[in-house]
Structure 1
């Protein structure tokens, strides 16, 4: 594998980490969903390049699934849910954006140290991409624990799953049956999340988890 192929693969995987930081920075729901769509587009490009670099045509299907479901269908559907539910457009955070970004930088550094030290003999393509993938997963977890709005937590979960897909494709790809099962599991999870959002909004008149905690305290 030539150096240019490796450089482009690492550039795309690194771009996914950069877009994860953009997700952490957003404080409005519509902007968050637009950035998530970009996140999915970068993932699709990265997986498609992995298909080319590894000579694995089945990964093109994974890239197409990511592009159609994650970059188009899910963001559009979430936009419509926000409008129908009348959700507050600003995202409340547990901690400020500044400390969150600094913590995110620390998690990325931790990912690089852990992966690069434990995989010194691994294939160069898989080694760096696994480090980037772990960083995306940790940043998705960080987003889930630092956001109070349920929709933003859902986006954090889906960005985390994007990191898992990147890790699987970087490690010489996934079997075709796994790709299909992942696509269907994402679709089913999204449908269930949508139902819960409507039910929560109908019952509590809010999707802010902090408000739900207050309600639970009042019931006690």
Structure 2
């Protein structure tokens, strides 16, 4: 493994972690969607680089899927949903930005310690990329946990899935059929989520998940 290959791969994987922190920091839906689009573009570049250094042409398809669907189609569709539903564009958070960022740093440190120990026998590129990928997954979960707005939770879920794709490609890739099935699963899930958001809006006049607690008689 050439030093340049190693450095570029880790720069792109580290960039995904940094952009995940940027998502944690956002308090406006439009800004969050724009940052997620940047997250998807960076994932596409990371997968493209892995395809090049691994000589794995099928990974170029994965990179194209990430770029077209995650960086363009899904963010544009979510922007449209927000406008059509008239959703409140400030993001309600369960925890303040400061504690959330500290928790994110703790999760990244945990990911590094855990993965570098578990994958001690693997090659350096794979084990460090897996550590970055686990960080992205955990930060995506943190976005979902700390945000009350349903749209921001959807974004957290999709960023989590980006981490899984990074892990799979860093560990010498997935079979193409699995990647295509994952892409179609995401599209189906996105359609269902869109319908779900419209139903929430009709029923509760809000997409704040706290409204669901109130409907069950649980007041904060």
Query: So what's the TM-score if we normalise by structure 2?
Result: 0.98
Partner of 2:210: 210
Partner of 1:88: 88
Matched, 1:77 2:80: no
Partner of 1:44: 44
Partner of 1:18: 18
Shift of 1:179: 0.9
Write out aligned runs for 1:161-176 (5 A).
161-176=161-176
Write out aligned runs for 1:1-220 (5 A).
1-217=1-217
Shift of 1:121: 1.5
SS in 1 for 2:217: helix
Shift of 1:110: 0.1
Aligned residues: 219
Give a deviation string over 1:33-67, Cα, whole Å, max 9, x none. Answer: 00000000000000000001111011000000000
Aligned equivalents of 1:212, 1:174: Cα separation in 2: 38
SS in 2 for 1:89: coil
The runs of at least 4 aligned residues of structure 1 exceeding 3 Å deviation read none
Give a deviation string over 1:96-148, Cα, whole Å, max 9, x none. Answer: 00000000000000000000011112011111110000000000001101000
Aligned equivalents of 2:70, 2:118: Cα separation in 1: 32
Aligned equivalents of 1:210, 1:64: Cα separation in 2: 37
Aligned equivalents of 2:38, 2:118: Cα separation in 1: 31
Aligned equivalents of 1:218, 1:117: Cα separation in 2: 43
Aligned equivalents of 2:123, 2:48: Cα separation in 1: 19
Shift of 1:218: 6.5
Distance 1:218 1:47, change over 3 A: closer
Aligned equivalents of 1:44, 1:16: Cα separation in 2: 10
Aligned equivalents of 1:214, 1:183: Cα separation in 2: 35
Give a deviation string over 1:156-214, Cα, whole Å, max 9, x none. Answer: 00000000000000000010100110110010000000000001101110000112211
Aligned equivalents of 1:155, 1:213: Cα separation in 2: 21
Structure 1, unpaired ranges of 5+? none
Structure 2, unpaired ranges of 5+? none
Distance 1:217 1:173, change over 3 A: same
Aligned equivalents of 1:71, 1:11: Cα separation in 2: 19
